[in-house]
Amino acid sequence: MKVPIYSIISGTGRYIPELKIKNEDFLSHEFYDKGGSRINKDNQEIIEKFHAITTIEERRYVGPELTASDIGYFAGREALESSSTDPETLDYIIVAHNFGDVRDDNKQLDIVPSLAARIKHKLGIENPETVAYDLPFGCPGWLQGIIQADYYIRSGDAKKVLVIGTETLSRIFDPHDRDGMLYADGAGATLLEGKASEKPIGILSHKTRSDTILYSQMLFMGKSYKSNGMLKDNLYLKMNGRRLYQYALETVPSSIKACLEKANVPISAVKKVLIHQANGKMDDEIIKRLFHLYGLEDVPRDIMPMTISWLGNSSVATIPTLLDLILKGDLKPHEINPGDLIVFASVGAGMNINAAVYQA
């Protein structure tokens, strides 16, 4: 009897920018509403309310010399080094992002060549059999890349796949939109390898859904809220925050539950839930609703590690960065030990939701 092949995580890496932007740094901003009117509130009040809703205190921005492909390369290189993997042995490089290489001096979208091709070039990989491509899938992009990698590995098409999530959101948010305080920069990378095992290990199940009829415009590109000045001709990331918040609470818990049921594992077996760091209070409510679906009112302490308070929302980079921090002992007291059951989950533009169950 042939031993099944499972996808296991054998290496991780991250790039966390050095520049810290605290909430107080927004005190001098001019905030406008979607109608183009100046918000008639003191900035201190705006920032305090923002913190109460999101739990974000600071976020990280890249320096002017760096782009998304640069920091994606840093994270990918670290993942390869941590697993002692020869880059030439990679079968695929999948790079999740949403805005390409937005330069500091030019906000125009730059995705030719693909970021994956640029990162493969930076890694010095000569092997033409290493297929490199990009995956724009909203904030769930990195996890969708993991799901695609799992399909490649289980089918026998690949043995090693490098999945990178990288983003520089600091360059595409409207400085006059309060939602802009959510966004951050960063990159995370994960190496998946095929491993034969008689007992289930690695990725046990995954689920993805896309709701486009009613929810495709929850995140979109639009003009600055400030109606005059040079900003009016550019497009910026916009969000229908209230509807998105409600959509996430209604759909993410049930998607995670469906993924657990697909893997035939109980909620009581889950050691960690690594969820996209989009909004601290929203994530807290999602985990509560997940356990409520099982008739449980008490959520285990430390089951959901969080980084959003000091890293902000770096989109596709949040989960792989979180995973790398834990695995390398840099987010105490959180640990992932052999045998632990982990859930990954994300929600974002599309609207897209995905989840995966992983046996360490």
Write down the pLDDT at residue 108: 84
Binned at pLDDT 50, 70 and 90, residue 72 comes out as very high
Range of the domain at 37: 5-196
pLDDT of residue 74: 98
As for how many domains the chain has, the answer is 2
| Of the candidates 308, 299, 239, the residue with the CA atom closest to the CA atom of residue 278 | 308
Q: Give the residue from 132, 130, 127 showing the smallest Cα distance to 117.
A: 132
Contact in structure between 182 and 279 (CB atoms under 8 Å)? yes
Classified as helix, coil or strand, 41 is coil
Instruction: Select from 166, 196, 226 the last residue of a domain.
Output: 196
Confidence of residue 133 (pLDDT cuts 50, 70, 90): very high
Contact 85, 123 (CB under 8 A): no
Residue 31 CB partners (closer than 8 Å, separation 6+): 38, 39, 41, 43, 46, 176, 177, 178, 225
Q: Which of 196, 221, 251 is the last residue of a domain?
A: 196
Question: Does residue 132 share a domain with residue 244?
Answer: no
Q: Is the same domain home to 148 and 23?
A: yes
Residues 352 and 212 in one domain: yes
Answer yes or no: is pLDDT of 14 > 60.
Answer: yes
State mean pLDDT over 184-192: 98
> What is the distance between the terminal CA atoms of the chain, rounded to a whole angstrom?
24
Rounded Cα distance between 348 and 139, Å, is 5
Which range, of 174-178, 226-230, 324-328, averages the lowest pLDDT? 226-230
Task: Identify whether residues 34 and 157 lie together within a single domain.
Answer: yes
pLDDT of 119 above 70: yes
Q: Are residues 23 and 153 in the same domain?
A: yes
pLDDT at position 232 is 56
Distance CA 39, CA 222 (A): 19
How far CA 8 is from CA of 13, 46, 143, 193, 340, in Å, comes to: 15, 44, 14, 5, 13
Domain edge (last residue) among 196, 219, 242: 196
Span 303-317, average pLDDT: 97
For residues 123 and 28, state if they share a domain: yes
H or E element in which residue 26 lies: none
Cα–Cα distance measured from residue 181 to residue 187, given in angstroms and rounded to the nearest whole number: 19
User: Which pLDDT tens digit goes with each residue over 289-307?
Assistant: 999 999 999 999 899 999 9
Quick one: average pLDDT of 268-285?
A: 96
Mean pLDDT, residues 25-38 taken together: 91
Q: Are 322 and 274 in contact (CB under 8 A)?
A: yes
Domain harbouring 121, CATH code:
3.40.47.10
152 burial via Cβ count (<10 Å: 0-12, 13-18, 19+): buried
> Are residue 145 and residue 183 in the same domain, yes or no?
yes
Cα 263 to Cα 157, 260, 266, 355: the distances in Å are 23, 5, 9, 11
Q: What percent of the chain has pLDDT over 70?
A: 98
pLDDT in tens, 208-235: 999 999 999 999 988 888 865 555 568 8
Burial of 18 (0-12, 13-18, 19+ CB in 10 A): exposed
**Residue 128 shares a structural domain with residue 156:** yes
Residue where the block lists tokens 């995956």: 135
pLDDT value, residue 35: 85
CA distance 69 to 25: 27
Q: How many residues does the chain have?
A: 360
Phi and psi dihedrals of 206, rounded to 5?
A: -155, 155
Cα–Cα distance measured from residue 348 to residue 143, given in angstroms and rounded to the nearest whole number:
11
Residues 220 and 190 placed together within one structural domain of the fold: no
Confidence at residue 2, expressed as pLDDT on a 0 to 100 scale: 87
Do 89 and 158 have their domain in common?
yes
> Do 209 and 143 sit in the same domain of this protein?
no
On the question of pLDDT at 122 being above 70, the answer is yes
Reading the block at residue 351, the tokens are 């609207």
Q: Could you tell me which residues come within 8 angstroms of residue 224 by beta carbon, excluding any fewer than 6 positions away?
A: 32, 174, 175, 176, 177, 231, 232, 234, 236
Give how far Cα 315 sits from Cα of 35, 173, 273, 343, Å. 27, 13, 17, 18
Does residue 335 surpass a pLDDT of 90? yes
Whether residues 51 and 183 fall in one domain: yes
Give the whole-angstrom CA distance, residue 290 versus residue 23. Answer: 31
Largest CA distance in the chain: 71
